[in-house]
Amino acid sequence: MNVFSNITSATRAALLYITVGAVMIVWSAIYYTYLNNHPPAPGTDGPWYWCTGFLLTGATLLVIGLAVGWIGRSARQAEQPHAVVNSRDSSGTPVSNVVPLANTPAVPAVPAVSAASPTVQQPTTAQPVPPQNFTAS
C-alpha cells in the first residue's frame, strides 16, 4: 500500500525531514547519555564533537521540515487554477485582477438588497392560456 500517492511533494519532503531530524535527535541524546556515563579516553574529544554534530543536524532537519510544511500549506493557494480578469477601477483605468477559480458561483444566487432602497419584488406569475381545440384531420 503506497501511503505517498495522494500527497504533494512539499508534504512528502516535510514528512521526511521531520522524521529523519527527530530520529537523529533521539539517537544523539541516547549517545550523549552513553558518553556521560562512559567517558572516552582522556584527550579524545572526537566522540563529543560527533554527538554534538548529529544532534544539531537533527535539530536543523526538524526545523527545515517544519518550515517546508508551513511553506507548502501557504503555497497551496497559488497552485489553484486562476483566471485574469480585465476590469476598470473607479477612475476608469484598466486593471488586471487575478481571480481564483473556486467552486463558488460567479454570480450570486440571491440578488443583493441595498439598504438605501428596501423594495420587495413580487414574483411574476404566468397568465393562464385558454385551451385550444385542435381538430383531427
Q: How does pLDDT run across 9-41, given as a tens digit for each residue?
A: 778 888 899 999 999 999 999 999 999 999 988
Q: Answer yes or no: is 137 within a domain.
A: no
The label of the residue with cell 495522494 reads: 6
Mean pLDDT throughout 46-58?
A: 95
Cβ(16)–Cβ(65) below 8 Å: yes
The total number of structural domains that make up the chain: 1
DSSP helix, strand, coil percent of the chain (3-state; round to 5): 45, 10, 45
* pLDDT grade for 52, boundaries at 50, 70 and 90: very high
Q: Rounded to the nearest 5 degrees, what angle is found at the Cα of 30, between the Cα atoms of 25 and 36?
A: 120
The pLDDT of residue 80 is above 90 = no
* Domain range enclosing 28: 7-102
The pLDDT of residue 130 is above 90 = no
Mean pLDDT throughout 93-103?
A: 65
pLDDT of residue 105: 52
The pLDDT of residue 113 is above 70 = no
Cβ(19)–Cβ(62) below 8 Å: no
The pLDDT of residue 104 is above 70 = no
> pTM higher than 0.75, yes or no?
no
pLDDT of residue 24: 96
Q: Answer yes or no: is 86 within a domain.
A: yes
**What interhelical angle do 46-75 and 9-37 show, nearest 10?**
160
Cβ(17)–Cβ(71) below 8 Å: no
Q: Rounded to the nearest 5 degrees, what angle is found at the Cα of 89, between the Cα atoms of 86 and 93?
A: 80
